[in-house]
């Protein structure tokens, strides 16, 4: 009885620590709106193919059913360092002749993204039961970009991110089937510094939304797993404040304080993964579908300048995307693992609405990772990924849409972007 009381206290302390950690988010948003953020060094090492592996506390994101297949309790702390690099060369048409402008580069600021997770197999008389609980906190979606003020009709700073606090439960039905679910409590953060797009101003808002993650893990034969996961859409209703420098579309009238409300939509997604262990080698593959078409418009209400009946509306017209992941792990020795992975991520952003702060276009990701076990209770995992794609050329079609400028490409020119990411996780099992 005394041991069970200690375990209960330890569980409560871990859950409380995770919740407190979630309440202090730091600057985030590396990948851009076209790609979910990977939340685990082990997942990075597998090239993101983690739905059928899911053997640490980040299973609450990748596949909650994986919690029920972990034999021991664990706590995981992680930090991701991401360096996005974006360059945009505008293309204008002067007297019918295409003319390149000066290349604009985003600030090369390293983003720091935290990860924290805890999982426990409930015990009966000291024996792990079929029920597992967990909680995690991480940044799943979003992006940010900062440019020096250069020209009208641009966002000099744009940030839209989602942090999640995810408590969850899993149940091992039998040796063949495990199921799990997580409640996603999302904190949305929205910031824009606009240069005449369509008004000059600075606004920021924060708000909450909720969704769920449902997972299934099948083990038809020993060493072979099939993972299925579904994540619902989340809409964070944000509110905040800012300033506007424009009382009308044409008339400048000084700095005006405004109240801001904004509905921040994030898509539903589903993944199917396969993992197979052959001796010291484990291979994993995965296909993701993300319903980015949910992100159709971004709507912000600025009172009193633009009230509810006349909000600011920016078209996005995102498209659904498919991503394919593959990776492997080899146990070199009892305490050392090496990993490598590859991702092919599809495009969600059409030419018409592509902006210079987004990672638009099909992308390739190449990752290398390692894991080191320190005795029976500690392990350290690290991974590095290089995400890149071919420079994307967006046509200047102003002439073709002279009478329908709202349908013309907003940022014609050459968009080039890449992302370097280093993730380190420290995990303790007990």
CA-CA-CA-CA torsion sign (125, 126, 129, 133): positive
Looking at residues 223-237, what average pLDDT do you find? 96
Residue 81 pLDDT > 60, yes or no?
yes
What value does the mean pLDDT take over residues 70-95? 88
Report field, pTM of the whole predicted structure over 0.75: yes
Spatial neighbors of 332 by CB under 8 A, at least 6 apart, are 280, 338
Residue 362 CA to residue 364 CA, distance in Å, equals 7
Instruction: Report pLDDT digits (tens) over 380-406.
Output: 999 999 999 999 999 988 878 877 777
* pLDDT of 21 over the 70 cut: no
Please enumerate in sequence order all residues whose Cβ is within 8 A of that of 59, keeping only pairs 6 or more positions apart, or say none: 65, 66, 67, 70, 119, 134, 170, 180, 215
- The answer on pLDDT for 351 being more than 70 is yes
Give the torsion through C-alpha atoms of 34, 407, 262, 245, to 10 deg: 120
Q: Are 40 and 140 a contacting pair, CB within 8 Å?
A: no
In sequence order, what are the beta bridge partners of 283? Answer: 276, 328
Task: Flag whether pLDDT at 3 surpasses 50.
Answer: no
Pick from 34, 180, 160: which is nearest to 119 by CA? Answer: 180
pLDDT at 198: 58
Q: How many CB atoms lie within 10 A of CB 386?
A: 13
Higher pLDDT, 274 or 201: 274
pLDDT at 312 over 80: no
357: pLDDT strictly greater than 70: yes
What helix, strand, coil percent values describe the chain, rounded to 5? 10, 60, 30
- Exposure on the CB side of residue 95, measured as CA atoms within 13 A: 0
Q: What is the 3-state secondary structure (H, E, C) of 100-164?
A: ECCCEECCCCCEEEEEEEEEEEEEECCEEEEEEEEEEEEEEEEEEEECCCCCCCEEEEEEEEEEE
The per-residue pLDDT of the chain, averaged, comes to: 85
User: Residue 336: which pLDDT band, with cuts at 50, 70 and 90?
Assistant: very high
CATH architecture classification, 2-429: Beta Barrel (2.40)
At residue 320 the predicted structure's pLDDT band, cuts being 50, 70 and 90, is: very high
What value, to the nearest 5°, has the Cα angle with vertex 333 and ends 332 and 335?
A: 115
Q: What is the pLDDT of residue 98?
A: 73
Strands 111-124 and 127-146: antiparallel
Number of neighbours of residue 308 by Cβ within 10 angstroms: 8
For 15-42, what is the mean pLDDT? 49
> What is the model's pLDDT at position 210?
97
Q: What is the per-residue pLDDT for 96? A: 64
Per-residue pLDDT at 208 exceeds 60: yes
The larger pLDDT score, comparing residue 407 to residue 81, is at 81
Per-residue pLDDT, averaged over 421-429, amounts to 95
Residue 20 confidence (pLDDT): 37
Run of H or E residues at 7: helix 2-22
pLDDT tens for each residue of 153-185: 677 888 889 999 999 999 999 999 999 999 999
Task: Enumerate the β-bridge partners of residue 128.
Answer: 123
Per cent of the chain over pLDDT 90 is 52
pLDDT bracket for residue 254 (50, 70, 90): low
């Amino acid at each position: 009885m005394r041991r069970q009381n200690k375990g209960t206290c330890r569980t409560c302390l871990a859950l409380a620590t995770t919740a407190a950690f979630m309440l202090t988010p730091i600057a985030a948003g590396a990948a851009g709106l076209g790609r979910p953020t990977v939340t685990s060094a082990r997942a990075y090492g597998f090239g993101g193919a983690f739905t059928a592996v899911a053997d640490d506390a980040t299973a609450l994101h990748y596949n909650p059913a994986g919690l029920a297949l972990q034999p021991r309790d664990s706590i995981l702390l992680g930090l991701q360092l991401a360096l996005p690099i974006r360059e945009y060369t505008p293309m204008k048409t002067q007297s019918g002749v295409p003319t390149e402008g000066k290349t604009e580069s985003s600030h090369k600021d390293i983003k720091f993204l935290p990860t924290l997770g805890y999982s426990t197999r409930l015990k009966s008389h000291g024996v792990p039961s079929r029920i597992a609980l967990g909680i995690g906190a991480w940044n799943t979606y979003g992006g940010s970009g900062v440019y020096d003020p250069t020209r009208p009709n641009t966002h000099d700073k744009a940030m839209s991110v989602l942090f999640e606090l995810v408590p969850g439960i899993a149940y091992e039905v039998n040796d063949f089937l495990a199921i799990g679910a997580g409640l996603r409590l999302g904190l949305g953060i929205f910031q824009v510094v606009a240069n005449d797009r369509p008004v000059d101003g600075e606004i920021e808002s924060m708000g909450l939304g909720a969704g769920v993650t449902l997972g299934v893990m099948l083990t038809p034969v020993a060493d072979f797993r099939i993972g299925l996961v579904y994540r619902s859409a989340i809409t964070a209703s944000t509110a905040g404040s800012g300033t506007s420098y424009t009382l009308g579309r044409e008339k400048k009238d000084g700095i005006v304080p405004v109240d801001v409300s904004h509905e921040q939509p994030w898509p539903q997604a589903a993944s199917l993964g396969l993992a197979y262990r052959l001796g010291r080698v484990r291979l994993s593959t995965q296909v993701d579908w993300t319903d980015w078409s949910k992100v159709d418009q971004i709507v912000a209400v600025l009172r009193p300048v633009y009230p509810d009946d006349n909000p600011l509306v920016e078209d996005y017209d995102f498209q659904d995307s498919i991503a394919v992941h593959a990776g492997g792990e080899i146990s070199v020795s009892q305490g050392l693992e090496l990993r490598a992975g590859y991702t092919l991520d599809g495009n969600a952003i059409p030419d018409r609405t592509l902006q210079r702060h987004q990672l638009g276009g099909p992308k390739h990701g190449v990752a290398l990772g390692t894991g080191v076990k320190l005795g029976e209770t500690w392990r350290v995992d690290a991974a590095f990924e290089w995400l890149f794609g071919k420079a994307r050329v967006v046509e200047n079609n102003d002439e073709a849409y002279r009478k329908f400028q709202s349908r013309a490409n907003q940022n014609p020119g050459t968009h080039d972007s890449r992302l370097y990411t280093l993730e380190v996780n420290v995990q303790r099992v007990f």
